[in-house]
Amino acid sequence: MTTLLRQRSLVQEAAALRADADDPVDAVHRSCDRIDAIDPQVRAFVPEPGRRTRLLEAARQRTAAGPPEPADRPALYGVPVGIKDIVHVDGLPTRAGSALPPEVLGGPQATVIDRLCAAGALIAGKTVTAEFAVTAPGPTRNPHNPAHTPGGSSSGSAAAVAAGMVSLAIGTQTVGSMIRPAAYCGVVGFKPSHGRIPVDGVIPNALSFDTLGCYATDVAGVALAASVLCDGWQDGADEVPGPAGRTRRPVLGVPAGPYLERAGDEALAAFTEQRELLRSAGYTVREVPVMDDFEQIVEQLFTMNRYEVARAHTDWFARFGDRYREETTAAIRQGQAIGDTAYWTARVRRAAFRERLAADGAAAGIDVWIAPSATGPAPADLSTTGTSIMCLPWSNAGLPSVSLPAGHAADGLPLGLQLVGAFGADEDLLYGAAGIEGVLHENGRPGPAGTGRVP
């Protein structure tokens, strides 16, 4: 393995391109050079003949059509971006990691792509996903160690950023598909509140949970992307005070109980160290007993998830069922066996869980929950994407979450710290996350530009 070259952060790259200190054509060449050199081993991108030619033409058009004054250029002017291959992009096929005919899966371009293009971004290509964003892994390898999974289902997007191929990539999360790959690959992953980014033009997994998000090397990068992608984004402490006030450190809550006990020993030991580090930096950290019915919460989510997966694939599965992979077929079959009554009962229970979790946090004065992003480092197993259990309750409640690189396991692979905010308080969450990222960095955790490894 060789040490990953330090790449510019998204904020640095975007600023250079907007200020004319860099050129979109050069940005395309850098990204394509890196993809050509590294992706044969990492396999983060869906192969695309003529990628460089397409991107160079788009960059030249962007330069010719761009505002004459650098100060007037949009936020992501000339920035190449990776797009998870369940998101429709005009001119690029959508395969969703499957063997189904791409023309069957096609559809109008997603709103998230319209927003990226309006912000001046260039679409670097499609990134690998688990089949239909369920659990059957794609070919992507972890850039830190190719024998280990990068996580899923947004595997390609996380690995593309970790390996320095792009400074921004788009993924989705239904249960743990953004946060877990961020932790496994050692990058920052942000999943907004459910519904904060429109999901039209995205092949559904389970619409009650599906959420678009993004990866970058630091919190400032995902915040820049969020300001472009999220509905009604508000910047600045004066505009939106929020529950954390934006002028003080958020009060942090540790969700004590059976949920936290699902993390592995190494993740829990690191999490204990992280908590003490934050306390010593002046943060208030409170243990709050919650989710004593965690097993029922898990059952409720998967009842809804599998039911909705099966309904989303009713037509395709009837026509092409023999082309689905074993894991996806099993999920669909499970969903087909769930009746309407069980599904609607699960929806009622989820609503009650959301209310109870919000009330428990409010009663304890919690602004941000903290927990391990995953049960441990990336498993040495390419047949699985790992478990999403540490993300499950937060996705169930539709809450915004972010994973920060937070040290390494004994095998040298990254670990992540998960921060979870109140519903709709995405701006406050990222403001607080930036301060926590600084504490982690100052105390020897991975810095904003990360140093992963590639084969």
- Residue 84 in tokens: 């998870």
pLDDT at 148: 98
Distances (CA, A) of 2 to 31, 92, 100, 164, 266: 19, 32, 37, 13, 25
Under the banding of pLDDT at 50, 70 and 90, the label for residue 4 is: low
Q: Over the stretch 82-119, which tens digit does the pLDDT of each residue have?
A: 999 999 999 999 999 999 999 999 999 999 999 999 99
Give the span between the Cα atoms of 337 and 309, in whole angstroms.
12
**Cβ contacts of 78 within 8 Å, gap of 6 or more:** 17, 22, 23, 24, 27, 59, 62, 63, 120, 121, 122
The answer on pLDDT for 5 being more than 50 is no
As a whole-number percent, the residues of the chain with pLDDT over 70 amount to 93
Q: Global pTM? A: 0.95
Question: Whole-angstrom distance between the N-terminal and C-terminal Cα of the chain?
Answer: 5
> In percent, how much of the chain has pLDDT > 90?
90
Residues 432 and 415: their CA atoms lie apart, in Å, by 19
Q: 184-197: per-residue pLDDT in tens? A: 999 999 999 999 99
Q: Which of 9, 31, 98, 153 is an active site residue?
A: 153
pLDDT tens readout for residues 280-314: 999 999 999 999 999 999 999 999 999 999 999 99
Interatomic CA distance for residues 438 and 285, integer angstroms:
17
Q: Is the pLDDT of residue 451 over 80?
A: no
pLDDT digits (tens, 9 = 90+) for 330-374: 999 999 999 999 999 999 999 999 999 999 999 999 999 999 999
pLDDT in tens, 20-73: 999 999 999 999 999 999 999 999 999 999 999 999 999 999 888 766 788 899
For residue 388, indicate whether it is catalytic. no
As a whole number, the mean pLDDT across the chain is: 94
- Domains belonging to the chain, first-starting first, are 8-291+355-450 (3.90.1300.10)
Residue range 235-250, pLDDT digits in tens? 864 343 444 456 689 9
Q: Which of 84, 154, 167, 373 is catalytic?
A: 84
Position 2 scores a pLDDT of 38
Instruction: Let me know if 126 is a catalytic residue.
Output: no
Q: Which of 98, 157, 177, 373 is catalytic?
A: 177
447: pLDDT strictly greater than 80: no
Q: Does residue 84 carry a catalytic annotation?
A: yes
